[in-house]
Amino acid sequence: MSELGVEQTLVLLKPDAVARGLMGRILSRFEDTGLKVVGVKMKHLDADFTSKHYFDLEGRAGSAVYTTTANFMQSGPVVALALEGVDAVSKVRKIIGPTFPDQAAPGTIRGDFAHQTKASSEVSGKAVMNLVHASGNSEEAKYEVELWFDASERFQYETVAERFMY
């Protein structure tokens, strides 16, 4: 299937998604489009793991962004999903919508379930409560999936949907 553009990507259901009980509804959005769950786990992040995940935010001029994000991600459990499908990275990015919920269209996860504005985040000094993290590109997806899931934690199987989609 690799010739079809099948790839894996990481999605994190952030502490706000977990606390609000939206895990199942969010996961359904991905499965409804034919994406396959090949790995799943719930985890509390510690400072070391958070820095490995958000390495691209460390050392930036806006290190306050990293600190705010890291504190939020460590505030409660997250659910990590390794998803697989044709053009999985770009498909997931479309499903979740833009980073700032007030800019996300209805029908996207952030547009339907998250409503914080960029301005309110800046004024409050809190991280943007946007429910999900998703890999931004194929290289990032490869890094993140391998960081979160070793090979033994990712499963290969055929879904009924794959028989009709590929």
Q: Is the predicted pLDDT of residue 165 greater than 80, yes or no? A: no
Compute the distance between CA of residue 155 and CA of residue 149 in angstroms, rounded to an integer: 10
pLDDT tens, 62-81?
A: 577 788 889 999 999 999 99
Question: 2-99+130-160: what fold?
Answer: Alpha-Beta Plaits (3.30.70)
User: In the block, which residue shows the tokens 């306050």?
Assistant: 64
User: Which residue ranges make up each domain of the chain?
Assistant: 2-99+130-160
Percent of the chain clearing pLDDT 90 (strictly above): 74
State residue 64's pLDDT score.
Answer: 78
Catalytic residues: 133
pLDDT tens, 87-134?
A: 999 999 999 999 999 999 999 999 999 988 888 888 888 888 999 999
State residue 2's pLDDT score.
Answer: 54
User: In the block, which residue shows the tokens 């290289």?
Assistant: 139
Average pLDDT over residues 43-59: 84
Looking at residue 131, the DSSP 8-state letter turns out to be S
> Tokens representing 99?
């980073």
pLDDT tens, 130-141?
A: 999 999 999 999
Quick check: helix, strand or coil at residue 148? Answer: helix
Q: How many CA atoms lie less than 13 Å away from 106 in the CB half-sphere?
A: 0
Phi/psi of residue 136, each to 5°? -85, -25
> Tokens representing 40?
């799943």
27 Cβ partners below 8 Å, 6+ apart? 13, 37, 81
